[in-house]
Structure 1
């Protein structure tokens, strides 16, 4: 048979007809939660995170802010799921500072980082500015975030730089992730970049180089204007 195929130079495959022999996410469904509520954050924590993401991604001529894009909701839902507890990572000690190549070596899972870090941030802000972080003007919040990033602000009982790096990374993930996870509302970042999204098949466009396609972005769940008939 191998000799025959080699001689003919052709290979053949079966064509699937009728219903597809699988369902999307049959074996690895994405962790998603309905909107309209906070799953992990307390009201004060939610306000603090919204105040942070609003300054990390401010609104401009290109897009809405991180708050308006739903980055806080994205982070909240991730913390409520397996990411929040690092259940898929090895988290046994001993814990010690690693090299940059080794990456994050903290003993704190994301839920603890946010719970302890946000409480420490508000405590520092109340002691320094007599207000919680979310109550401060935007320029002051920018200065505090810059101080955390540079390691110049020491929060009581928690590493301020670790808090900043964690929230920054999660904010970027929420801004660019598929909207089914709570962020990137109305696919705002994909529209800004011209990213066509989670389309099933790009074969018609593979050879179309240096060409603007203007394809409307598509989420895993479709587009908001799509209606499902019963």
Structure 2
């Protein structure tokens, strides 16, 4: 087995994650295709790095405590490692905060009248009276309260191993955790957080995440390039760097 075949399982996990990202998000990154022509340029040897900013992003929806949670949580879900930057470095927190000011976060685009069936198939649409921005607000508060009940520290102040354990228990949604979540189901909160973190890692940079196109570079996705006709039947790796909707190159 080659070294490439033994690559970090994180890469395979994130490749598979692309199938879970909503179509509207995938399309906006160029996965849905485009009709614009782009002139390929040879890939650079150095891996892509997040775009540096002279000014730190200031959240417009999340409070300081909530912002600390978001940053700590995404860093656990997709951590930086030898493969490259993680969700924190890629700007996933900024992506999530910016989404909180869109119709998506307030459920404006969905049918929001009951009855709601949490066991319904995904294609049946949103199944909660709570909208994403409410789930975040209630879920973060409940997680921090649960964390403080454990040892007096908020989630963001816990060590990495404790944060990992807490996220696993949120994902499982057991009775012990559910007792602390009276306003929002813990599993619902975790699933939304994970989904938005992956979106922030793989979205087009125009949405605030995937800075420097580090997510695309890690999985070999070429971005918003439009013309692949010369490569379709070559059966070889596409050698050119990713391009964003704005024309930025990794």
Measured against the shorter chain, the TM-score band is: 0.7 to 0.9
Match of 1:20 in 2: none
Match of 1:19 in 2: none
Residue 200 of structure 1, CA deviation: 2.7
Match of 2:212 in 1: 186
1:1-230 correspondence runs (5 A): 36-100=57-121, 102=124, 104-152=126-174, 153-154=177-178, 155-157=180-182, 158-208=184-234, 210-223=235-248
- Structure of greater Rg: 1
Gapped regions of structure 2 (runs ≥ 5): 1-35, 37-54
Higher relative contact order (CA 8 A, sep 6+): 2
Residue 98 of structure 1, CA deviation: 3.2
Residue 156 of structure 1, CA deviation: 3.3
Q: How many corresponding residue pairs?
A: 192
User: Cα–Cα, structure 1 residues 115 and 58, in superposed 2: closer, same or farther, change >3 Å?
Assistant: same
Can you list the C-alpha shifts for 1:135-180, whole angstroms capped at 9, x where unaligned?
0000000000000111122233221111100100111111111111
RMSD: 2.0
Q: Could you state the TM-score of these two structures normalised by the residue count of structure 2?
A: 0.72
Gapped regions of structure 1 (runs ≥ 5): 1-23, 25-33, 226-230
Q: Could you state the TM-score of these two structures normalised by the residue count of structure 1?
A: 0.78
Can you list the C-alpha shifts for 1:103-122, whole angstroms capped at 9, x where unaligned?
64111100000011111111
